[in-house]
Structure 1
Amino acid sequence: MINETALLESPTLRGSVLDRTDVLDKVKALSLLPDGMHVTTAMVASYFDVGLEAIKSLVKDHRTELEASGYRLLTGEELRSFKNLSGIQSRTRSLALFPRRAVLNIAMLLRDSEVARQVRVYLLDTEYLARTQPVENPAPMDAASLDARIDQRITHVLGTTVVPMFNALIETSSEHRRELIALRAGIQRIEKRLRQHHARLQRLESPRENRPFAGVMAAMDAMIGREFEEHVAELLRRDGCTDVIVQGGGRDRGIDITALTADGRRLVVQCKRFAPHLSITSPEVQKFLGAAKVLHDSEVALFVATCAFTRDALNIARESGITAVHRGLLEEWSGGTPLSALE
């Protein structure tokens, strides 16, 4: 497994993981310029909570490496062209631009930044899992998660390029003005929905104070279904449960794990490893309720998910005595906090 020291010291290792820029958004939202692709030196410094000089010093010491990852300094005609295309208003004679790969490269070089350290921890966790897990056919939820990660970039393009283009066409066209206005309205609705989608994903993934430890949810997001069930089973054993059995297969009758709590109560668990931007809905909780109470006559029922629950789903769980272990609660449980339902 690659360790943090090796990552800080080896340009070769850093270069081998530069494509994993998604880890930046796992730790903190990275604001982009209107072109949806680059950030400035000041924006990089703000992301890592360090001063401008810290970033400038890194660029000076590692310029060749950073240029290989996409860093460039615009001047002259190239700078004027970029300002015109992106709409940036600036009187500077030069402008340093960092694509996401270069920002990730900075994270692997910057020692005195807690944000950079969290990025490295998350990166190392995901890279280790990618290297050690068997190849699996990606589930539809993984594809949806990947789509969500580019929502912000698409929104930037729609808001700064496509909509202004329609504005210009509407101003100069009389024959098709009504159709153009309708098209613009449709694009603006899409832009709004993408912003809402991205904001929801950011709320689910944003760092919070006193998180048990960085990377725990990245590890679970990388698991396949059976591995996630085994992970939950280990948490149950850690908290004193006995006779823990992972059912698995197509004959589980709606239950993934059965066990006895430390004080002897019958326990059943449903495990759902969904993408973080999805939600457990009320029909799924109702289905589990029938299996837990009717088929298994359980005294304790846990619905464990790597995502959130809808309000209706939470209400049904609360009214029926099911413990909804949502993403935040799952992270705390995995980090060592006992689950109150098992006490």
Structure 2
Amino acid sequence: MATRARPSACSHTDRVFLYADSLIHSGGVPKLCPGHGAMPPPEGQNMINESALLESQSLRNSVLERTDVLDRVKALSLLPDGMHVTTAMVATYFGVGLEAIKSLVKDHRTELEANGYQLLAGEELRSFKNLSGLQSHTRSLAIFSRRAVLNVAMLLRDSEVARQVRMYLLDMEYLARTQPVDNPVHRETVSLDDRIDQRITHILGKTVVPMFNALIETSGEHRKELIALRAGVQRIERRLHQHHTRLQRLEGVRDDRPTVGVMAAMDAMNGRRFEHHIAKLLHRDGCTDVVVQGGRGDRGVDIIGLTAAGQRLVVQCKRFAPYLNITSPEVQKFVGAAKVLHNADVALYVATCPFTPEALSIAAETGITVVHRGLLEEWSAGEPLEVLE
């Protein structure tokens, strides 16, 4: 194989990409043996449950690489260095008080330190402030890496955000561990391209991003450029991972799946498929004349029908990422369509994400039933909606 000519003088950035390129071209992609197109089965076929994550450090360690889950549940704000957060920022992310995080750190300090928690003081703190651009007059500062924040999510019991992170981890573990073993057609679909994508994702996450982190810590002149480049690499890594996971979900959906995969399956749906999923739930709960009409000419609603009691029903469906929000203007628009254009008795706004407080207030004032992510999970798992009974 021909080798690429290398420049005589390489910048920090050049060295990062040349090294990553050499990994990919010199054995980074595993070879397929003749007649063995499928990936080997994952080790440990027993499913991880939420209580096990809370109790077992070894199980927590096994999923600590999945830090992308944090931003899927809720956007995590970082310090100017793009790598760390403070105790207050962790508390804000999980919606708990400072003392809850401090108490958790006290109980699990050794584990958290192994995953990036640090208490900075003296020269170490001054150096960190200079490198990160942080403006603070405190004599000590506790900082958490993204890995440490994920560790906190698997330890923190009294936080809905932490629970959602654990559920997302369980969803991803379920999808990674449960692959049909008696379907040779499915095994053959794991192509060379799929395996190359997986290997590139692995190299980006395990090698290129950590190298950027190290360079950012030591470079002053090109710091902003390196942070921007690292963010670009992380976006590519996330998109490759999301693409691969979405394909797995779409190709591996099974009717007998436990409820742990419910939200992951819905997150993988496109808008039209999500609308039909909601229509099936309406049918299940006794609604009749259910019609999916999303698209042009739908007059502002996606589904119409009648409840079991014969009331006129309209539904708006939004399949958004879980870290986004339904805002008040979107609810106001639906109010007009539901109440004025359709004269609905029952109006549902169903979304795979949360609603802002203002949106919830408008919905309550105008008689709109909000089905947010948590309620949608329960509804999909078999709990009937009270408004449909």
Q: TM-score, normalized by length of structure 2?
A: 0.44
Q: TM-score, normalized by length of structure 1?
A: 0.49
